Amino acid sequence: MAPNVDLWLASTSPRRRELLAAAGVAFQLCEPGPEYVPGGGDEHSSERGEPGRLALDRAVRKALGAKVPATPVPVLGVDTVVDLDGLELGKPADRAAAERMLRALVGRRHLVHTAHCLCVPHLGRSWCELATAEVECGPPPEAELQRYLDSGQWRGKAGSYGVQDDAQSFFRVVRGAFDTVVGLHLPAVRALLARARAEA
């Protein structure tokens, strides 16, 4: 029997869960498929390739490889990539790596791509949407930068930051949607659900 939900969320991100829950989207969690191909990169490295394409490929792998029961409920895979001048910034392995990334971003603008893949496994159908936003990193006072690093809020986040983090005030979205930078663009999810209902 299918659960009474809109989708399975193939993600371990608490921020994506919070965004869906706040929007009233009914979901259940499932284990995502492998994010990286064997012999490829990992979350702490920068993979070669166009960053938006990397995000789409990972979202597809997460959705298509998710472990879910045999139900007609669609599966959503999501991936977010920070793009600095066409190069991906991964997740920092430690405080020193986070500081290097943040200093590379200071005083500059960069892109954040969040890719969404919605699949219906029993039909073999899938649909994708890519949302992109532009973010500016203002020059923070050194004391604020060090406080943010000390807070640990950068852990597990692409580019070493969360635009929503309360320990920093130097990142701001200048183009696109705030939720895209947080890690899930709700209008994209709603558009994918509508397409799945119309085409499946």
Burial bucket for residue 145 (CB in 10 Å: 0-12, 13-18, 19+): middle
Catalytic residue among 6, 42, 57, 79: 79
Burial bucket for residue 85 (CB in 10 Å: 0-12, 13-18, 19+): exposed
Contact predicate 140/107, CB 8 Å: no
d(CA 10, CA 66): 6
d(CA 160, CA 172): 14
Is 79 considered catalytic here? yes
d(CA 163, CA 129): 21
Instruction: Indicate the SS3 state at residue 135.
Output: strand
Residue 188 makes CB contacts below 8 A (sequence gap 6+) with 114, 116, 129, 130, 131
Catalytic residues: 79
